């Protein structure tokens, strides 16, 4: 059975039981009182009956003596049996108080009957005088019976006086009890009903409150209902729902976060594309001009300048072309050498590059223009400001699954904060000039290209020398980078 239903049933049963109990008690009491009243009335009626029966008998006897017909005799016999019956009934009324009186009474009735019989006997023997004497005596006895009835009734009244008063008092007390009982039951029922209704409505109220909180969007409040009925079950389900919704929301939030990151990446991509587009403005004119300049320099006998111009044109071309596509490490190294050639034209002996390249590693794919900005950085920080110039070590080492590309300089080093900034891809304010593609740009592109975070190490004691290690996987994790539109 359901719990709330059970509760209601219990309440109804208790109320019903109380009502039944009271009804039963009252009915029983009423019945008892009624019986007592009946008994009392019976006593009086029976005694009175004897008087009337005796008088009736005398009348019958008189009739018979005056006119001795069988009819009258019949009547006489009838009244005789009547008085016998009355006597039997009266003798039942005997108790300690009136034993003597009742015995006397019944004996008196016997005497009456005997005297009547005697009168009849004398009548049948035609002794009318004796018969009449007996009749007189019977009449006297009948009179005594009447008197004794009155005496008995009087005695009864005295004997039962206390009893009657008790009955009256009790009936008055019963009224009072009834009122008190009504008050008590009303009070108890009100209390019980209040408690009972509370036990139903309180959980509902709690549930309502919880639902309100939920509708306001607070999903973190635990729904707790302490009851043992369906409401508690409902609350439990509700709570589970809340937890589920909570989970769903946090999932959605995570997704949104992801989406946002993706969006950022896209924006970044578009920005770089825009930049590359901008930088493509009329590049051919520039190349052609550079070629012309190179030719002119060659013709004028300045071979060195001509070569330098070719390098610049190559570098520029590469720069514009390769930014958004993968190239081999070999190409990168080549471009890096061209850049060094150009710089060497500027710094002459001050720039010394020592390269140690494992050729077997040159086939790995890298994003375009990854080495040049790092080398440029080294040149700017380690060579340019130094009067005596600087040394740059360039190594490509096969490290098993990865290829390590190390660019080391003997410049003044990098602070820890700066390293952190670079590795966390913050835009670094570049000192001096560069080709525009910064350090952090490289890091970002490498991470995007390989789909892993651990792509670069920067070692520097902050005083002298900086060593940048690119850790390039031999196989690429993702290839989304390639699918970027070619705008070369």
Partner 1 sequence: MRKTVIGILGLLCITLCYFTFVSAEKAFRSDWKLPQPTDAMQSQYRLVLITQELEMPFWKKVGEGAEKQAQQEGASLEVWGSYGNQEDFLKKIEIAIDTKVDGIIVQGLDTESFKNLTKVKAAFHGIPVITVANDVPMSESLRRTYVGSDQYQAGKMIANQLVQDMGTEGTVILLADAHQEYYQKQRVSGIQDVLKSYPNVRTEYAETPDTREQIIATTRDLMNRLPDVDAFIAVNADLAEAMLLEVGRRSQIEPYHIYSFDDGRESLRLMQQGKLDGMIEQSPEMMGQISVDMMLQWLRGETVPLDMNGYLTEIRMLKAMDAQ
At residue 409, φ and ψ (nearest 5 deg) are: -130, 175
Q: Could you say whether residue 153 binds partner 1 (CB under 8 A)?
A: no
Among 188, 248, 249, 452, binds partner 1 (CB under 8 A): 188
Among 89, 130, 139, 144, binds partner 1 (CB under 8 A): 144
Cα separation of 394 and 247, whole Å?
52
Among 187, 211, 267, 360, binds partner 1 (CB under 8 A): 187
Question: Per-residue string for binding with partner 1, 51-70, x by CB under 8 A?
Answer: --------------------
Place of tokens 């770089």: 272
Question: Per-residue string for binding with partner 1, 18-37, x by CB under 8 A?
Answer: -------x---x--x-----
The DSSP bridge pattern shows strands 466-473 and 402-409 to be antiparallel
Helix/strand/coil for 432: coil
In angstroms, what is the minimal distance from the CB of 119 to partner 1?
Answer: 15
CA angle 217, 222, 225 (to 5 degrees): 120
Residue closer to partner 1, measured from CB, 91 or 434: 91
Residue closer to partner 1, measured from CB, 152 or 419: 152
Residue closer to partner 1, measured from CB, 96 or 299: 96
Q: Could you say whether residue 99 binds partner 1 (CB under 8 A)?
A: yes
Q: Could you say whether residue 158 binds partner 1 (CB under 8 A)?
A: no
Q: Could you say whether residue 193 binds partner 1 (CB under 8 A)?
A: no
Q: Could you say whether residue 100 binds partner 1 (CB under 8 A)?
A: yes
Q: Are 325 and 482 in contact (CB under 8 A)?
A: yes
Among 176, 216, 284, 483, binds partner 1 (CB under 8 A): 176
Q: Are 140 and 132 in contact (CB under 8 A)?
A: no
In angstroms, what is the minimal distance from the CB of 82 to partner 1?
Answer: 20
CA atoms within 13 A on the CB side of 124: 7
Residue closer to partner 1, measured from CB, 191 or 211: 191
Question: Per-residue string for binding with partner 1, 103-142, x by CB under 8 A?
Answer: xxx-xx-xx----------------------------xx-
Cα separation of 199 and 225, whole Å?
11
In angstroms, what is the minimal distance from the CB of 93 to partner 1?
Answer: 8
Q: Are 367 and 321 in contact (CB under 8 A)?
A: no
Which DSSP string corresponds to 176-241? HHHHHHHHHHHHHHHHHHHHHHHHHHHHHHHHHHHHHHHHTT---SPP----SSHHHHHHHHHHHH
- Candidate ranges 42-50, 175-183, 355-363, 475-483; the one touching partner 1 (CB under 8 A): 175-183
Helix (H) or strand (E) holding 457: strand 456-460
For 431, residues 6+ apart whose C-beta sits below 8 A from its C-beta are: 380, 381
Residue closer to partner 1, measured from CB, 140 or 240: 140
Burial 343-375 (b: 16+ CB within 10 A, else e): bbeebeebbebeeeeeeebbebbbbbbbbbbbb
- Candidate ranges 46-54, 88-96, 230-238, 251-259; the one touching partner 1 (CB under 8 A): 88-96
Among 19, 180, 211, 277, binds partner 1 (CB under 8 A): 180
In angstroms, what is the minimal distance from the CB of 209 to partner 1?
Answer: 20
Q: Could you say whether residue 163 binds partner 1 (CB under 8 A)?
A: yes
Q: List C-alpha distances in Å: 56 to 27, 74, 223, 446.
A: 41, 13, 93, 141
Phi-psi region of 120 (alpha: psi -120 to 50; beta: other; left: phi over 0): alpha
Residues that bind partner 1 (CB under 8 A): 25, 29, 32, 94-100, 103-105, 107-108, 110-111, 140-141, 144, 148, 159-160, 162-163, 166, 169-170, 173-174, 176-177, 180-181, 183-184, 187-188, 191
């Amino acid at each position: 059975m359901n719990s709330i239903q059970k509760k209601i049933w219990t309440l109804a049963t208790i109320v019903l039981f109380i009502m039944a109990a009271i009804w039963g008690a009252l009915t029983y009491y009423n019945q008892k009182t009624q019986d007592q009243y009946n008994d009392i009335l019976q006593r009086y009626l029976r005694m009175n009956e004897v008087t009337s029966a005796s008088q009736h008998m005398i009348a019958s006897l008189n009739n018979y003596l005056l006119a001795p017909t069988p009819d009258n005799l019949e009547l006489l016999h009838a009244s005789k049996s009547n008085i016998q019956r009355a006597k039997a009934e009266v003798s039942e009324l005997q108790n300690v108080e009136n034993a003597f009186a009742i015995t006397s009474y019944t004996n008196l009735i016997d005497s009456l009957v005997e005297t009547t019989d005697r009168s009849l006997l004398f009548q049948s023997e035609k002794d009318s005088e004796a018969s009449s004497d007996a009749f007189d005596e019977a009449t006297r006895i009948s009179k005594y019976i009447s008197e004794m009835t009155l005496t008995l009734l009087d005695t009864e009244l005295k004997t039962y006086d206390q009893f009657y008063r008790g009955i009256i008092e009790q009936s008055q007390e019963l009224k009072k009890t009834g009122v008190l009982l009504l008050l008590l039951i009303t009070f108890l029922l009100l209390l019980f009903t209040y408690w009972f209704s509370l036990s139903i409505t309180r959980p509902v109220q709690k549930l309502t409150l919880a639902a309100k909180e939920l509708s306001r969007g607070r999903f973190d409040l635990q729904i707790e209902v302490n009851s043992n009925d369906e409401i508690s079950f409902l609350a439990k389900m509700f709570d589970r729902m809340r937890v589920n919704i909570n989970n769903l929301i946090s999932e959605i939030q995570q997704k949104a976060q992801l989406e946002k990151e993706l969006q950022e990446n896209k924006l970044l991509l578009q920005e770089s594309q825009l930049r590359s587009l901008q930088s493509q403005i009329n590049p051919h004119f520039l190349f052609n001009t550079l070629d012309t300049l190179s030719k002119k320099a060659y013709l004028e006998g300045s071979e060195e300048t001509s070569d330098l111009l070719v390098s610049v044109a190559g570098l520029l071309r590469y720069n514009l072309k390769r930014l958004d596509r993968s190239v081999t490490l070999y190409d990168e190294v080549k471009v890096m050498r061209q850049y060094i050639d150009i710089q060497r034209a500027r710094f002459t002996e001050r720039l010394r590059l020592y390269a140690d390249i494992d050729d077997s590693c040159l086939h790995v794919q890298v994003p375009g223009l990854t080495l040049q900005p790092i080398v440029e950085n080294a040149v700017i920080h380690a060579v340019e400001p130094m009067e005596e110039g600087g040394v740059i070590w360039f190594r490509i080492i096969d490290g098993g699954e990865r290829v390590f590309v190390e660019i080391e300089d003997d410049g003044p080093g990098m602070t820890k904060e700066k390293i952190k900034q670079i590795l966390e891809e913050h835009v670094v304010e570049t000192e001096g000039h560069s080709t525009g593609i910064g350090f952090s740009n490289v890091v970002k592109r490498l991470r995007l290209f390989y789909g892993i975070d651990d792509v670069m190490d920067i070692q520097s004691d902050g005083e002298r020398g900086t060593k940048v290690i690119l850790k390039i996987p031999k196989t690429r994790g993702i290839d989304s980078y390639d699918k970027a539109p070619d705008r070369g």
